[in-house]
Structure 1
Amino acid sequence: MVRNGQSTHVRAASAWVSAAALTAALAGCGDVGGGTIGGGEDDDVLKIGFVSTETGSSALFGEANAYVIESMEQWFSDHPVTVDGVNHTVEIIVKDSQSSSARAGEVAAELINSDGVDLVLTSSTPDITNPVSEQCEANAVPCISTVAPWQPFAIREGDQPADLKYSYHAFWGLEDVSAVYADMWSQVDTNKKAAGLFPNDPDGQAWSANFPALTKDTGVTIDDPGLYPNGTQDFSAQLSAFEGHDILVGVPIPPDFTTFWQQAGQQSYRPKIATIGKALLFPSAVESLGNAGDGLTSEVWWHPTAPFTSSLTGQTAQELADQYEADTGKQWTQPLGFAEALFEITVAAVEQAGSTEPDAIIEALSTLEVSTVVGDVAWGVDDTVPPYVAKTPLVGGQWRLDEGEDEGRNPYELVVVSNELAPQIPTGGEVEPLR
């Protein structure tokens, strides 16, 4: 893998990589000029750019990216991509967005204009996906993105989706997450008054503008005291407005929710259910709250118990999560599955296109259907979303302290408690109110 112009060493081999393949991958990555993986000297090269988010306030969204990228390199060393009968080696060039929209656009431009990639992959909130997409649109290079609700990805100005030609996105929408949230709220006896904690960023703007209408039919009223800037250190104004609200809903970045929740405890604000997007997606973020994270709820875009399998490696969702934990010593995290799905989509699109030319890849994406480790992904089949959007399954989950005494157990377990929109994903219990 080439990372910001330099090669990096490959992580420990996964279960599905042979020892010989690992040796070859390590040898290839040991040279500073390396980066191409798989096949022989006569093969062509498929160059994939990846704008990751590995540092900054949103780094938890990219926590698993390096692992997946290096695992994919190992996979491609034994399985070159076949394009119109010709084996292609794979070169993956990674650049860190540093959690900055401006930086994301800059490195996307570098990947396109300096590195000459055939397509660009990206994830990690609209702050990152949108500027990357804009660079791809300007340069007529395919972009495949995920991990951002489709509305803030697609609707960039006004109230209508942008006319995107080179950007294809796979994720759920606000209509889905609001339905999941409402189902979780219905499992707890509340006064149906919800406090809205929305930041002044693309996610917060989209959620605050759409959630009140999307939840109105459930009888829940969302009171929004106004958008706050990311990095806020004092949430006294919000907490004062939230008094008497049994439900808390919002989409803050992880460090901001940690600050808010600590101050909520100090000021004795304790809703009966707190459902927070973005900040509560990651085990390390919940662990940072100590015991105060017990019972918090959030959307779940990917879970090891989901009955999905990788179209590349044949690993199930559970096998991928288990291997990640074994190789890294960290608890599985939701972006893990979507990082791998980006490569599944890429291979399926290029092979269906029979070409690495941009227009051929885009034509293939427009009708692509592929079963991935995050579920079935298909474009052009749902007229409720823009043609460049493919929706993925969504369920709801609750974080619960794992009080078992076995050595090596994770401090928190994410239990699926709502599968109304995706009944194929099993639940592990029902919502328990905050104590």
Structure 2
Amino acid sequence: MKKITKTGISRRQFTLSAIAGSAIMAINPTFAAATSDKKLRVGFISPRTGHLGAFGETDPFVLSQVRQALADGLQINNETYQIEILDRDSQSDPSRAGQLAKDLINNENIDFMLSTVAPETINPVSDACEAAGIPCLSAVLPWEAWYFGRGAKPGQPSPFKWTYHFSFGVDEFYQTYISQWGLIETNKKVGVMYPNDADGNAIRRFLKPKLEAAGYTIIDPGAYETGTSDFSSQIALFKREGIEIFNAFPIPSDFSALWRQAAQQGLTRQIKIAQIAKTGLFPSDIEALGGLGNKLASACYWHKDMPYRSPLTGQTGKQLCDLYEAQTNKQWTQQIGACLSLFDAAMETLITSADPKNKVNLAMAMRKLNVSTIAGQVDFTSGPVPNVAITPIIGTQWVKSKSGPFKFDYLITEHATDPNVPIAHKLTPYNA
């Protein structure tokens, strides 16, 4: 592995100062801080336990890499700042996520908030920061569920001044699905299971019409509630309609119940492509399904084979994942790189702010942020709406491993949203 520099920041970043400071809005005295304070407190909230706990399983490892890279501080505008990261577990509970955010803001006096994974964590954290005037950067949630799910209106100015988000969106899912589904001949009948939550509602509202316009027949039994235990009526509908593609955005426990029932009732025998999102992202999800996990199609928001390097730690994706597996004896997950990319972008925000103790400057730095991370480019200057930057989704498939220490391999099957990513596997039918 390439040796990490003491700070993990490149020489260019050490010497970079934000010359755009003169163009930034006048400093609000309320948010100004004494220049003698050279310590920055960064809050980080993610789900390590609860139904989204698989997303946060690798956070301690990523945080150890980040803290090591920042051990000697971060050089900002010719000043060295010590970075203290205060990490918290949302337990996959929206109410707890909001309370943790308020505690970090009001009692820990953080300068900057970071948050990751799903509306249950990110949205209440973002709302708390928006209300308090605390700069917040988040990732890994379809941007529509973050932007519109928090009250923004299509075609209207952004209501957000302090909160910014980079992630994939409906268009990335659309491009990936059209690309992936075209790899196998089907009747283009798609059975969908979109839950009654921020993710599911955004996908139903924005993705479903695009798929229909592309010539796919969407069989939608309607929104279901998280925690549903009996999916017999939906399965019966899908069998009657003869669907050959299945697409869902469930939490892991819901999908496990659904897919086992689908196998018992004969639905899986007619499915050529089982395209799963939100669950099916991690080895633990797939291994829990036994043989039913083999050949499930997925879409990754980060993969170790992506050809990018972290500007913070200096690591490639393969180096990062090899180290994780060596230290934990567990298989890498896509959240490793996604989480590190959030810190890559956050540290660049601090550097380009020129005065990171000034919260107005931090917010303006996020608005202008355009940086290469371990997950690729994060560019807030190009839309699609204010406060949002777009990242790719890559088509993938889980297949039983023929060698190696783990049960399944996670292989890239298409790259419509980022052609720089190498394809390694030809998609095979689920029922073959």
Same fold (TM over 0.5): yes
Q: How does 1:243-282 map to 2 (within 5 A)?
A: 243=239, 244-270=242-268, 271-282=271-282
Q: 1:18 to 1:315 in 2, by over 3 A?
A: closer
Q: Could you tell me how far 1:83 is from its partner in structure 2? A: 2.4
Q: Could you tell me how far 1:217 is from its partner in structure 2? A: 3.1
Q: 1:220 to 1:303 in 2, by over 3 A?
A: same
* Aligned position for 2:390: 391
1:338 and 2:334 matched: no
Q: Could you tell me how far 1:393 is from its partner in structure 2? A: 2.2
Q: Distance in 1 between matches of 2:121 and 2:220?
A: 25
1:83 and 2:76 matched: yes
Q: Could you tell me how far 1:142 is from its partner in structure 2? A: 0.6
1:240 aligned counterpart, secondary structure: helix
Please give the TM-score of this superposition, normalised by the length of structure 1: 0.87
Segment drifting more, 48-57 vs 158-167: 158-167
Q: Deviations over 1:247-282 (max 9, x none)?
A: 100100011111111111111111111101010111
Q: Is the 8 A contact 2:5 2:313 kept in 1?
A: no
Q: How does 1:214-363 map to 2 (within 5 A)?
A: 214-243=210-239, 244-270=242-268, 271-356=271-356, 357-363=358-364
2:422 aligned counterpart, secondary structure: coil
1:365 and 2:366 matched: yes
Q: Could you tell me how far 1:403 is from its partner in structure 2? A: 2.4
* Aligned position for 1:66: 60
Q: Is the 8 A contact 2:114 2:138 kept in 1?
A: yes
* Aligned position for 1:107: 100
Q: Could you tell me how far 1:343 is from its partner in structure 2? A: 1.2
**Could you tell me which amino acid in structure 1 is paired with residue 252 of structure 2?**
P
Task: Give the paired residue count.
Answer: 395
* Aligned position for 1:201: 197
Q: Is the 8 A contact 1:380 1:388 kept in 2?
A: no
Q: Distance in 1 between matches of 2:106 and 2:426?
A: 51
Q: Could you tell me how far 1:43 is from its partner in structure 2? A: 7.3
Q: Is the 8 A contact 1:16 1:313 kept in 2?
A: no
Q: Distance in 2 between matches of 1:191 and 1:249?
A: 14
Q: 1:212 to 1:399 in 2, by over 3 A?
A: same
Q: Distance in 2 between matches of 1:329 and 1:236?
A: 39
State percent identity of aligned pairs. 35
1:121 and 2:114 matched: yes
Q: Distance in 2 between matches of 1:16 and 1:97?
A: 33
Q: Deviations over 1:96-125 (max 9, x none)?
A: 111011111110111111111101100111
1:371 aligned counterpart, secondary structure: strand
Q: Is the 8 A contact 2:4 2:313 kept in 1?
A: no
Q: Is the 8 A contact 1:43 1:89 kept in 2?
A: no
* Aligned position for 1:56: 50
**Could you tell me which amino acid in structure 1 is paired with residue 98 of structure 2?**
G
Q: 1:102 to 1:355 in 2, by over 3 A?
A: same
**Could you tell me which amino acid in structure 1 is paired with residue 208 of structure 2?**
P
- Root-mean-square deviation (CA, aligned residues, Å) is 1.8
Q: Distance in 2 between matches of 1:224 and 1:249?
A: 10
**Could you tell me which amino acid in structure 2 is paired with residue 373 of structure 1?**
I
Q: Could you tell me how far 1:159 is from its partner in structure 2? A: 4.9
Please give the TM-score of this superposition, normalised by the length of structure 2: 0.88
Q: Distance in 2 between matches of 1:179 and 1:308?
A: 22
Which structure 2 segments of 5+ residues have no match?
9-35
Q: Distance in 1 between matches of 2:96 and 2:341?
A: 24
Q: Could you tell me how far 1:158 is from its partner in structure 2? A: 7.3
Q: Is the 8 A contact 1:212 1:221 kept in 2?
A: no
**Could you tell me which amino acid in structure 1 is paired with residue 97 of structure 2?**
A
Q: Deviations over 1:226-248 (max 9, x none)?
A: 11111111111211111111110
Q: Could you tell me how far 1:152 is from its partner in structure 2? A: 0.5
Q: Is the 8 A contact 1:146 1:171 kept in 2?
A: yes
Which structure 1 segments of 5+ residues have no match?
1-13, 22-41
Q: Distance in 1 between matches of 2:116 and 2:5?
A: 29
1:189 aligned counterpart, secondary structure: coil
2:381 aligned counterpart, secondary structure: coil
**Could you tell me which amino acid in structure 2 is paired with residue 73 of structure 1?**
R
1:47 aligned counterpart, secondary structure: strand
Q: How does 1:140-159 map to 2 (within 5 A)?
A: 140-156=133-149, 157=151, 159=153
Q: Could you tell me how far 1:44 is from its partner in structure 2? A: 1.7
Higher relative contact order (CA 8 A, sep 6+): 2
Q: Is the 8 A contact 2:188 2:215 kept in 1?
A: yes
**Could you tell me which amino acid in structure 2 is paired with residue 129 of structure 1?**
I
Q: How does 1:397-412 map to 2 (within 5 A)?
A: 397-404=396-403, 406=404, 409-412=405-408
Q: Distance in 2 between matches of 1:207 and 1:321?
A: 31
Q: Deviations over 1:123-179 (max 9, x none)?
A: 111221111100010000011000001111100247527521111111111111121
Q: Distance in 1 between matches of 2:106 and 2:187?
A: 55
